[in-house]
Chain A
Amino acid sequence: MIEPLDDELRRLVGALREVDRPGEAARAATWAAIDARLAEGPAPRRTAARVSWPLAALAAALLLALGLAAATAWREAERASVEAVDRHSPESTPRAVEPRPLRAAESSQPATSGKPGESPQSDSSSSPEAQLDSTHAGSPESQPDSSHAGAPESQPDSSQAGSPKSQLDASQAGSPGSSAGHHASPGTEPARPAAPSRRRPTDSPSLRPEEVASFQRAQAALAAGRYDEALDALDAHGLRFAGGLFEEERQVSRATALCKLGRVDAARDARRRFLRERPGSHLAERMRQICRDDE
């Protein structure tokens, strides 16, 4: 059995417990960030490298095929337009055909699209494009799915931190608390949603996705050094979600942006106001450091 703490140590431990406590906003922001990272998926680089080579080869082959098809189609179009010009020309003599084709093809190319003689050409040119479009359009949506679905079979290495999300979902579906879980998908593979569901912890019911997204946009601008944009976004966020969950973070970020923009007085005003209104905030220390270099 261990003895109780002496009075002095107990007092200090009590103080440390009081002081070292994260705020609700920090909690919500951390969860929002975790949720976003989980929704993005692991995407380990190794997998990306493995997948990128076959994809690059496929894309190159597709481009080559497209180029060949386009060249053939253009030649066909040229020939067809020359024949059409010849057919409709009042003085259609065999001699007149020779010098005309290039000029005729050049000048009539846009206008000849509706001619019946060119429908095969437009079909042939549109089909590779349609193929390309469909592959391109499909890739952003289907790529995560296909990579996720393909990765576990082709690469069963589970030691990598980025294990596929489908596996993770499947395990969560079986977990006892999965109803409150993040990606609770009991059907796993067949009922896989295109966009990952973004759930919040059950104990933060006031957290709105649009509020989180709005704040994250502002934070991203701030992190990227786009301080004007960050300031605008933070002001807009403040107007839209007045007194919202990220109010303290918003004020700290706003003061940071003001300071970075050289608006030192405004930053200091913001700092003073914050410390006056929220002296016990967990962000008070951070706020105190803002724009201090210039003092």
Chain B
Amino acid sequence: MIEAPAKIFSFYRDGFRNMTVGKTLWKIIFIKLLVMFAVLKLFFFPNYLKQNFDTDAQRGAHVLEQITRHVN
């Protein structure tokens, strides 16, 4: 029973260690995710409704206001 997790661990460890092109690709993936989540998401793509309203009721009311504000 204890052998299975150890085998899985060594499978992934050896896999990552023996990568050739994969190492470069992981670096790119890491940089990409960092830019996406730590820069773009944080500073440029805030969730407008989550940031500006506390409850779903408020969010619903805001959207209802937005979609009916054009009615004369």
A binds B: no
* Residues of B participating in the A interface, judged by any CB pair closer than 8 Å: none
* Residues of A participating in the B interface, judged by any CB pair closer than 8 Å: none
